[in-house]
């Protein structure tokens, strides 16, 4: 796993985390530097990391004790929708108020060859671990969407996997699907982290376990778990559609859709804490704040 953190509380540093107890600072400036170096040398990022840490000493802190930053400054974050049955059912509930005898565009997109892909975030709107996510002030039904994120090269190669949160307003989207950009994009509506798991170290990306926990005043109020094995699509197909007649940039993150939706009566509130854990990657934790608390 590759992380970024503030060294001496001021300088961003890249580090490798081969297991839960060891963190090695790397000489590369950031994740894309590491990938570029591997490409230039005709080797892989893992080989570059292994060479860098051989014979060096881990720092005394564990990953959880460090002031973590987003593992990369993703120039753009895109997201896929309705890639899991659970998401289709939740979207249908929002759009129809629970009438199950109608076929909606969510049913159609779930079955269609072309997936739903939308623009989610820019570097300035995306936050890292432990940073505040913000609630929209004009929505009364907001949830986190825990998603596996693909970290991509500009040619579409999957360089690694990270954890992402596609914060969403169910009432705004349910009112009219044309409001999707407003239901999905605002200041502090996306988080990624805490680490990038190098793709070459993942045997089966359809075997990630995803868990989402939300706590309020120190008490857990929501917990859900699912697996990327339930995904309706293949990651390569999602990436191929993203790249069709499109230009993406090194370090773009593609969120692959949510498989966990809190109970319909739940909405996030100021002060909540969201934790999204993906096996083999880590726990992405963020506190939630209302926009009023920001200004």
Q: Report which residue's Cβ sits closest to ligand DO4.
A: 81
Residue 9 CB, nearest approach to Mg ion (Å): 33
Number of H-type helices and E-type strands within the chain: 8, 18
Closest to ligand DO4 by CB, 68 vs 185, is 185
Assess 164 for contact with ligand DO4 (CB under 6 A).
no
Assess 166 for contact with ligand DO4 (CB under 6 A).
yes
Angle between helix 31-40 and 45-53 (nearest 10)? 100
Site residues (CB under 5 A) for Mg ion, limited to 235-274 = 258
Assess 91 for contact with ligand DO4 (CB under 6 A).
yes
* Residue closest to 12 by CA, chosen among 275, 2, 1, 20: 2
In the list 34, 79, 135, 172, the residue contacting ligand DO4 (rule: CB under 6 A) is 79
In the list 30, 94, 116, 145, the residue contacting Mg ion (rule: CB under 5 A) is 145
Residue 294 CB, nearest approach to Mg ion (Å): 23
Assess 145 for contact with ligand DO4 (CB under 6 A).
yes
In the list 116, 166, 173, 277, the residue contacting Mg ion (rule: CB under 5 A) is 166
- 248 SS3 class: coil
Assess 174 for contact with ligand DO4 (CB under 6 A).
no
Rounded to an integer, what distance in angstroms lies between the CA atom of residue 171 and that of residue 263? Answer: 14
Rounded to an integer, what distance in angstroms lies between the CA atom of residue 142 and that of residue 134? Answer: 10
Rounded to an integer, what distance in angstroms lies between the CA atom of residue 131 and that of residue 154? Answer: 27
Q: Look at the alpha carbons of 164, 116, 119, 234 in this order and tell me if their dihedral is positive or negative.
A: positive
* Residue closest to 184 by CA, chosen among 117, 229, 265: 117
* Residue closest to 195 by CA, chosen among 148, 230, 258: 148
Spatial contact of 162 and 252, defined as CB atoms under 8 Å apart? no
* Residue closest to 108 by CA, chosen among 98, 95, 120, 97: 95
Q: How far is CA 287 from the centre of its chain?
A: 15
Instruction: Give the H/E segment covering residue 268.
Output: none
Tokens of 250: 């090194």
In the list 45, 71, 81, 149, the residue contacting ligand DO4 (rule: CB under 6 A) is 81
**Binding partner of 91, given Mg ion, ligand DO4, none, CB within 5-8 angstroms per partner class:** ligand DO4
Stretch that binds ligand DO4, among 23-31, 45-53, 61-69, 81-89 (CB under 6 A): 81-89
Closest to ligand DO4 by CB, 116 vs 275, is 116
Residue 248 CB, nearest approach to ligand DO4 (Å): 19
Assess 116 for contact with Mg ion (CB under 5 A).
no
Closest to ligand DO4 by CB, 66 vs 255, is 255
Closest to Mg ion by CB, 28 vs 121, is 121
Closest to Mg ion by CB, 14 vs 133, is 133
Tokens of 232: 């309706």
Q: Which residues make up the interface to Mg ion (CB under 5 A)?
A: 145, 166, 258
Q: Which residues make up the interface to ligand DO4 (CB under 6 A)?
A: 79, 81-82, 87, 91, 116, 145, 166, 257-258
């Amino acid at each position: 796993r590759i992380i970024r953190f503030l060294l001496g509380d001021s300088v961003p540093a890249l580090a490798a985390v081969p297991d839960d107890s060891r963190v090695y600072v790397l000489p590369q400036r950031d994740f894309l530097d590491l990938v570029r170096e591997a490409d230039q040398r005709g080797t892989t990022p893992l080989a570059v990391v292994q060479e860098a840490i051989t014979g060096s000493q881990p720092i005394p802190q564990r990953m959880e004790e460090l002031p973590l930053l987003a593992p990369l400054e993703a120039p753009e974050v895109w997201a896929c929708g309705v890639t899991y049955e659970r998401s289709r059912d939740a979207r249908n509930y929002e759009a129809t108020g629970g009438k199950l005898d109608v076929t909606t565009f969510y049913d159609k997109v779930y079955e269609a060859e072309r997936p739903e892909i939308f623009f989610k975030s820019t570097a300035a709107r995306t936050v890292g671990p432990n940073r505040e996510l913000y609630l929209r002030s004009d929505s009364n039904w907001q949830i986190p969407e825990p998603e596996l994120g693909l970290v991509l090269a500009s040619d579409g190669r999957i360089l690694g996997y990270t954890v992402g949160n596609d914060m969403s307003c169910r009432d705004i989207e349910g009112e009219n699907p044309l409001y999707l950009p407003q239901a999905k994009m605002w200041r502090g509506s996306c988080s990624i982290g805490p680490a990038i798991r190098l793709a070459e170290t993942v045997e089966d990306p359809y075997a990630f376990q995803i868990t989402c926990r939300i706590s309020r005043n120190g008490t857990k109020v929501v917990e859900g778990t699912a697996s990327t094995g339930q995904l309706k699509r293949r990651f390569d197909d999602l990436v191929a559609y993203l790249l069709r007649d499109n230009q993406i940039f090194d370090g773009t993150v593609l969120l692959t859709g949510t498989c966990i939706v809190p109970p319909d009566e739940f909405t996030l509130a100021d002060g909540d804490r969201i934790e999204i854990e993906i096996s083999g990657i880590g726990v992405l934790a963020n506190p939630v704040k209302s926009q009023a608390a920001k200004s």
